[in-house]
Structures are given as C-alpha cells and as structure tokens.
Chain A
C-alpha cells in the first residue's frame, strides 16, 4: 500500500492509543476507577476539534486574502470534521459524566459552554446553506467562521475557569497538574491527541480532494 508517511503515522499512533490505552497502568483514583482511560478517547476529541477548527479558520482567512475556491473548500470541510469531533466529544462526555458525576448533563459550565460553542458552529453550516451565490457564500461564511472561532476559545478555555466546574483544571485551578495527569497518563495521552487529530486531518484531506474533483467535473461537463 502506498500511503503518505503521515497516514502511516496516524495508523501507528491510533493502534498505540487503543492497545496501550487499555493495557497501560493508570493512577488508582476513587470514583473514576478504570474510566480514567476515557482520557485517551474523550479529551482528544476536543483537542482534535480545536486543532481542526483552527485549520478551518486559517483557510477562511486565507480565502479572504486570496479568494480561491480551494481555500473555501478546505475551510468548509475542516469545519464539518471539527464539528463532528465536537459532537463526539459531547456525547462521550455525557456518557462519562453519567457514571462519574451522576448525570448525563449536570449543567457544568464547561458542558454548557461547549454546547453553546457547537450551536455557534451549527449556525455556520446553516449560514452556508442559505446563499445561492458561491462567492457570497464563501466570503460571508469565512467572516462568520473567524468570529465563531473567536467566540469558541473564551467559551471553552476562559469562562469555565472563572466559576466552579466539575471538569478538572477549571474553577480557578491551573491547567493539567490538578488532573493527576501523571507521566503514565501522558505517555498515552499525547500520542492519542496527535493520532486522533491526524485522523481528522485525513478525513478533511479526502473530503477536500473529493470536493475539488466534483467542482472540476462540473466545470468540464
């Protein structure tokens, strides 16, 4: 099989994540117990979402500077994959919360903020669908995308820290150390983040190529 090196890397990192995610030693913590392994699957969804939405925003800005159809396609496809990661993140979070916090939705500030963030991005999809003219659609949705990303960052990383939250690392606590994110967890967690993000990039790559093909096909037809 001929594959680009980073696709092989994706496969290797994901296999490592799944195997080591189940077999590696983890801290023995009350309430969490073995569910601490969700760290390798739930949290990378959010990291992946942020990174892929960052790609989307970069290409939206690129489009505004240089209105190539390709830039618009990449922005749109990566926004969709980012939203998919976000939805998976919220679903896995609810499942995890049910058995550790007691309820699927406990109105935790970070839960609410991520739901609002996702709604902002759903509106991006609706906005795109509401234009007939290609250039108008690309330009206005690019501007909206920049604002959406600018709203998402404080929603996820600043506002939940200002109040008490069930999420670790929030409610006045600084980042990761309070997480008991010890070296054993890190050894799987960081490869997991890169692996899942690359998987998203792979899907974006495929969908972009497909969309470019489609456009070229219609141009020729």
Chain B
C-alpha cells in the first residue's frame, strides 16, 4: 500500500508541475491570450463557440455534465459502501 501512495504522490506532483506553471503563464501573459469576446479576433481565427460562451449557455452544458458525473459517482460510492457492509458481515 505504501508504494501505491508514493506512486500517486509522484504522479500528482508531475501533473501539478505542468499545471501550475501553465496557469502562472496565463496570468502573466494577460493581454496576449486570446479573448473570446473580441469580435475581430474571432472573425480571423478558426471558428469557435464564442457566442455560446458569451451568452453563458456553456454553463448549462457544464451543469448537465457535472450532474451526470455526480450521479455516476454517487452510485459508485453506494456500491462501495454496500460491499464494505458485506465484508464486515462476513468477518463476524
């Protein structure tokens, strides 16, 4: 079990090592990052769902996805607890 923990910690630091400089970079770049709202920029660039972001409809998609994910995860948790209960019963 100990080795598993170390492996995961290693993986997490690796992921964080990539993620944190990335967000810091975005913060320092500031003005140079692409703004979804600028119309002239959007016209010259490949088409993206800028309108969906502008009017906030993207949050509906996020809400639906999060609901489904949470539903599946709660199901998994309840399964986990049921198996845990059986294990305790069998041990007695």
Contacts and interface: CB of A to CB of B under 8 A. Distances in A.
Q: How large is the interface on B (under 10, 10 to 19, 20 to 34, 35 or more residues)?
A: 35 or more
B37 interface: no
Contact of B34 (A23, A28, A203, A213): A28
Main secondary structure of the interface of A (DSSP, over half): helix
A126 interface: no
Interface in B6-29: 8, 11-12, 14-15, 18-19, 21-23, 25-26
Interface of A: 1, 3, 6-7, 9, 11, 14-15, 18-19, 22-23, 25-26, 28-34, 183-184, 186-187, 190-191, 193-194, 202-203, 206, 209-210, 213, 216-217, 220
Nearest to A31: B46
Nearest to B65: A18
Contacts of A187: 18-19, 22-23
Contacts of B83: 206, 209-210, 213
Contacts of B61: 22
Contact of B62 (A19, A202, A203, A216): A19
B69 to A, nearest CB: 6
B49 A1 contact: no
B62 A194 contact: no
Nearest to A16: B19
B47 A33 contact: yes
B66 A194 contact: no
A176 to B, nearest CB: 11
The residue among A18, A23, A33, A220 with the most chain B CB atoms within 10 A of its own CB is A18
Given A18-B66, A19-B62, A22-B62, A183 B22 contact: yes
Given A28-B34, A28-B48, A194-B11, A183 B66 contact: no
Contacts of A23: 58, 62
A18 B73 CA distance: 13
